Amino acid sequence: MAERMVGLPAPKFEMEAYMPNGEFSKVSLDDYKGKWLVLFFYPLDFTFVCPTEITALSQAYDQFKALDCEIVGASTDSKFSHKAWVNMPVDQGGLGHIHFPLGQDITHEVSRNYGVLIEEAGVALRGLFIIDPEGVLKYSVVNHNDIGRSVEETLRVLQALQTGGLCPANWKPGQKTL
Q: Tell me which of 19, 37, 50, 116 is the catalytic residue.
A: 50
User: Residue 164 region, left (φ>0) first, then alpha (ψ -120 to 50), else beta?
Assistant: left
Query: Does 1 score more than 60 pLDDT?
Result: no
Q: Dump pLDDT digits (tens) for 41-99.
A: 999 999 999 999 999 999 999 999 999 999 999 999 999 999 999 999 999 989 999 99
Burial class (CB in 10 A: 0-12, 13-18, 19+), 112: middle
DSSP secondary structure, the chain, as one string = -GGGGTTSBPPP-EEEEE-TTS-EEEEEGGGGTTSEEEEEE-S-SS-SSHHHHHHHHHHTHHHHHHTTEEEEEEESS-HHHHHHHHHS-GGGT-----SS-EEE-TT-HHHHHTT-EETTTTEE-EEEEEE-TTSBEEEEEEE-TTSPPPHHHHHHHHHHHHH-S---TT--TTSPP-
pTM assigned to the model:
0.95
Domain span at 131: 2-163
Q: Is residue 10 part of a domain?
A: yes
Q: Is 50 a catalytic residue?
A: yes
Whether 24 is in a domain gets the answer yes
In a domain, 56, yes or no: yes
Count of domains observed in the chain? 1
173: CB partners within 8 A, 6+ apart: 156, 159, 160
Specify if 175 maps to a domain.
Answer: no
CATH code at position 6: 3.40.30.10
pLDDT tens, 88-130? 999 998 999 999 999 999 999 999 999 999 999 999 999 999 9
